[in-house]
């Protein structure tokens, strides 16, 4: 019977490709292969594109890595420089940029010469980010760099997320590899299908697994209660916390590339959790709001009359005041334990007419979580979007029920081609604004802004490091594309910078100033991290930093590093040029 240890051993002059969705265990497989090779004193070159070498090293130590002889374990850091994170130099690490395949090739050659012998295991975790930046150029990189490195008497173990590439490109990657292992997760176990391997016959292996993210995201003891009180009053102060709805959509869908299967599901779960905390927020409300809740919140939301009361007294007014959308509770269409809500000018969906997908990721889980949190019985509610502007409908509609919805999981997952189409729509509008001052997005009654009374951009980051990476990389790719398109349009470097900074001001990301550094006061990304997580100990502007770094690397050949952050207690967020 084939064992996991057998397939983790990559023979000399061979390349093995791991394919599977995020969370299938590809990185764990790579780490175990590294430990196995180090136990035999085999030199390692570990390329990290979605986390820092320090994080990879921490994972290896947690899996049992002890003291390593100098020169055996070497890293190529193709992550930190890509997303604009400052790190100190280390003797066993060479930096590269996953948006620049040549830089990775040069780093591999440099470390290979430093090691000075063959039978090196090159672990590449993973090709996903290089592919999302460079597309089919990755195939040439595999042929001329990775396959060549293996042919010189070494071994290569490389992984890529299934669904991130064109199907024909994945087929080519598989044909270039000596071994192919497909990985997946199903009902608490990881499945490894050995399609081909230099040492073993095609086979199937099952190993136990755990959840890809852990609740609980929020902990009320860390909330900045004074700031939340300000948010509660935001509806009374026109413009306070106002953000252009384009920016939050731009951040969300740019990040979606890195995890199209799980990112929407994770977003649904954490927004539902956020909504379920409504009862815990009541003590922060004004006295008259507390009284309204006490007098008008039913103990149970099964009946139509009780759900109508909840929406008419609270949901409809708050959504319109904050300019999230115009909500109607559909009394005639609803029945006991099956409720329908219609939303016009939904801030998540406007601008995506007929894009071919249901777009809402906040309202449905927020409604479901709110019902769970406010009901005395605390039933598990769920909601699904049944109509959407993105599907060609004139408005959005949600079905809200206690219990499971069979079709919910499939409705949340997005195909990479759909995400590409959505992102193209966003980039088209963005370039229209940057080049011709066309509106980013407008709604007939509610306009382009909304009161950002929830942590829209930072919420995914609170779910774990995987999603912080997605925000960083999504920002870096988006910034790179904006820079390239401005230069292609004949805009000079200084003018391109001026226009992008104007974009940030226009979107009300914060109050932006730029000279020797870039500063953003009241930054809409980090201010919410501070509100909900007082213990944050590092800069938290994941998307903004990635975006600025990708843009300035392209336009000015400069990296930007966030050195101060509101989430850490600074009065503003600041980025330095390197």
pLDDT at 235 over 90: no
Q: What pLDDT score does 454 carry?
A: 64
- Strand 73-77 and strand 93-95: the pairing is parallel
Please state which architecture CATH assigns to domain 261-413. 2-Layer Sandwich (3.30)
Residue 214's pLDDT is what? 42
b/e map 130-139, b = 16+ CB within 10 Å:
bbbbbeeebb
Distance CA(78)–CA(98), nearest Å, equals: 5
Q: What is the 3-state secondary structure (H, E, C) of 506-559?
A: HCCCCEEEECCEEEEECCCCHHHHHHHCCCCCCCCCHHHHHHHHHHHHHHCCCC
pLDDT digit string, tens, across residues 302-349:
999 999 988 887 777 777 778 889 999 999 999 999 999 999 999 999
Q: Is the pLDDT of residue 23 over 60?
A: yes
Euclidean distance between CA atoms 309 and 315, whole angstroms = 10
Does residue 211 register a pLDDT over 50?
Answer: no
List, for residues 365-411, the tens digit of each pLDDT value: 989 998 988 888 779 999 999 999 999 999 999 999 999 999 998 88
Q: Left (φ > 0), alpha (ψ -120 to 50) or beta: where does 37 sit?
A: alpha
| Cβ neighbours for 463, distance < 8 A, ≥ 6 positions apart | 213, 217, 266, 270
DSSP 3-state of 573: strand
List, in order, residues 6 or more apart from 216 with CB less than 8 Å away. 273
Q: How confident is the model at residue 118, as a pLDDT?
A: 93
Pick from 538, 545, 423: which is nearest to 476 by CA?
545
- The mean predicted confidence, pLDDT, of the chain is 87
- Any alpha helices (H) in 359-464, and if so which ranges? 363-374, 408-412, 416-436, 459-462
Pairwise CA distance, residues 206 & 12, whole Å: 26
> Can you spell out the DSSP letters for 254-274?
HHGGG-TTTHHHHHHHHHHHH
Rg (Cα) of the chain, in Å, rounded?
A: 25
CA atoms 86, 92, 94, 99: torsion sign = negative
Provide the residue ranges of all domains of the chain, joining segments of one domain with +: 4-208, 238-243+419-578, 261-413
85-94, 217-226, 560-569: least confident range: 217-226
- Quickly count: other Cβ atoms within 10 Å of residue 261's Cβ: 18
**Can 238-243+419-578 and 261-413 be said to share one CATH topology?**
yes
Rounded CA gap, 574 and 516, in Å?
A: 10
Range with the lowest mean pLDDT among 94-103, 174-183, 211-220, 504-513? 211-220
Report helix, strand and coil shares of the chain as percent, to nearest 5.
45, 20, 35
Helices (H), strands (E): how many in the chain?
A: 24, 19
- pLDDT(504) > 80: yes
Q: How confident is the model at residue 215 (pLDDT cuts 50, 70, 90)?
A: very low
Q: How far is CA 279 from CA 215, 312, 375, 376, 400, in A?
A: 18, 18, 9, 10, 19
Output 282 or 496, whichever has higher pLDDT.
Answer: 496
Q: What is the pLDDT of residues 412-423, one digit of tens each?
A: 888 888 899 999
End-to-end Cα spacing for the chain:
53
Q: Which whole number is the average pLDDT over 274-286?
A: 69
The tokens for 127 are 């090709």
Question: How many CB atoms are located within 10 Å of the residue 486 CB?
Answer: 23
> pLDDT tens across 448-476, in order?
988 876 667 776 666 667 778 888 999 99
* Domain 238-243+419-578 indexed as CATH 3.40.50.1820: no
pLDDT in the model for residue 318: 73
DSSP lists the bridge partners of residue 180 as 17, 196
Q: Which class for 492: exposed (0-12), middle (13-18), buried (19 or more C-beta within 10 A)?
A: exposed
The CA dihedral of 532, 534, 539, 545, to the nearest 10 degrees, is 10
Mean pLDDT to the nearest integer, 214-236: 50
Which whole number is the average pLDDT over 502-521? 94
The pTM of this model reads 0.86
Query: Domain 4-208 sits in which CATH superfamily?
Result: P-loop containing nucleotide triphosphate hydrolases (3.40.50.300)
The pLDDT of residue 254 is 93
455/85: higher pLDDT: 85
Instruction: Give the pair of three-digit tokens for residue 185.
Output: 């997760």
Our measurement of the distance from residue 215's CA atom to the centroid of its chain's CA atoms, rounded to an integer in Å, reads 17
Q: What is the pLDDT of residues 185-206, one digit of tens each?
A: 887 788 999 999 998 899 998 8
Q: Give the three-class secondary structure for 560.
A: strand
Share of the chain above pLDDT 90, in %: 60
C-alpha distances out from residue 206 to 5, 517, 542, Å: 13, 52, 35
User: Does residue 429 register a pLDDT over 50?
Assistant: yes
Integer Cα distance of 498 and 503 in angstroms: 9
Beta bridge pairs of residue 567: none
Under DSSP, the state recorded for 195 is: E
Higher pLDDT, 536 or 142: 142
The helix-helix angle for 493-506 and 542-555 (nearest 10°) equals: 160
Q: In whole angstroms, what is the distance from residue 442 CA to residue 246 CA?
A: 9
């Amino acid at each position: 019977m084939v064992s996991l240890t057998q397939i983790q051993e990559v023979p000399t002059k061979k390349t093995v490709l791991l394919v599977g969705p995020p969370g299938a265990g590809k990185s764990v497989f790579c780490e175990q292969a590294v430990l196995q090779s180090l136990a035999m004193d085999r030199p390692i070159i570990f390329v990290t594109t979605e986390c820092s070498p320090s994080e990879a090293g921490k994972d290896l130590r947690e899996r049992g890595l002890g003291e390593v002889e100098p020169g055996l374990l070497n890293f190529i850091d193709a992550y930190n420089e890509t997303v604009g994170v400052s790190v100190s130099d280390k003797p066993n690490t060479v930096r590269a940029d996953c948006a620049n395949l040549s830089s990775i090739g040069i780093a591999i050659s440099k470390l290979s010469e430093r090691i000075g012998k063959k039978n090196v295991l090159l672990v590449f975790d993973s090709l996903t980010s290089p592919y999302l930046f460079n597309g089919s150029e990755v195939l040439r990189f595999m042929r001329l760099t990775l396959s060549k490195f293996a042919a010189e008497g070494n071994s290569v173990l490389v992984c890529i997320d299934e669904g991130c590439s064109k199907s024909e490109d994945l087929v080519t990657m598989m044909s270039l590899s000596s071994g192919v292992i497909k990985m997946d997760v199903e009902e608490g176990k990881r499945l490894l299908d050995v399609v081909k391997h230099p040492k073993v016959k095609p086979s199937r292996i099952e190993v136990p697994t755990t959840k890809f993210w852990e609740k609980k995201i929020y902990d009320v003891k860390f909330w900045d209660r004074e700031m939340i009180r300000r948010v509660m009053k935001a509806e009374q102060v026109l413009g306070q916390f106002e953000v252009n709805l384009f920016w939050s959509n731009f951040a969300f869908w740019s990040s979606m590339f890195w995890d199209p299967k799980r990112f929407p599901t994770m977003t649904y779960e954490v927004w539902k959790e956020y909504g379920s905390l409504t009862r815990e927020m009541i003590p922060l409300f004004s006295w008259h709001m507390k009284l309204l809740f006490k007098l008008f919140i039913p103990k149970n939301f099964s009946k139509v009359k009780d759900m109508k009361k909840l929406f008419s007294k609270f949901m409809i007014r708050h959504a319109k005041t904050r300019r999230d959308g115009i909500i109607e509770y559909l009394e005639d269409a609803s029945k006991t334990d099956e409720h329908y809500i219609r939303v016009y000018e939904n801030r998540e969906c406007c601008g995506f007419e007929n894009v071919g997908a249901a777009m809402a990721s906040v309202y449905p889980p927020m409604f479901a979580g709110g019902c769970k949190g406010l009901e005395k019985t605390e039933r598990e509610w769920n909601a699904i979007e049944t109509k959407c502007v993105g599907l060609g409908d004139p408005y959005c509609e949600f079905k809200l029920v206690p219990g499971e919805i069979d079709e919910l999981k499939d409705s949340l997952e997005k195909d990479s081609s759909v995400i590409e189409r959505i992102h193209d729509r966003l980039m088209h509008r963005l370039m229209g604004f940057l080049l011709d001052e066309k509106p980013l997005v407008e709604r007939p009654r509610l306009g382009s802004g909304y009161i950002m009374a929830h942590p829209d951009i930072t919420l995914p980051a609170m779910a774990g490091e995987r999603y912080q990476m997605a925000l960083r990389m999504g920002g870096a790719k988006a910034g790179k594309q904006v820079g390239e398109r401005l230069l292609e349009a004949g805009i000079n470097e200084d003018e391109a910078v001026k226009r992008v900074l104007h974009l940030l001001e226009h979107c009300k990301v914060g109050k932006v100033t730029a000279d020797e550094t870039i500063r953003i006061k009241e930054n809409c990304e980090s201010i919410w991290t501070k509100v909900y997580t007082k213990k944050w100990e590092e800069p938290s502007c994941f998307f903004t930093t990635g975006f600025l770094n990708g843009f300035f690397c392209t336009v000015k050949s400069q990296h930007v590093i966030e050195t101060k952050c509101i989430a850490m207690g600074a009065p503003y967020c600041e980025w330095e040029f390197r």
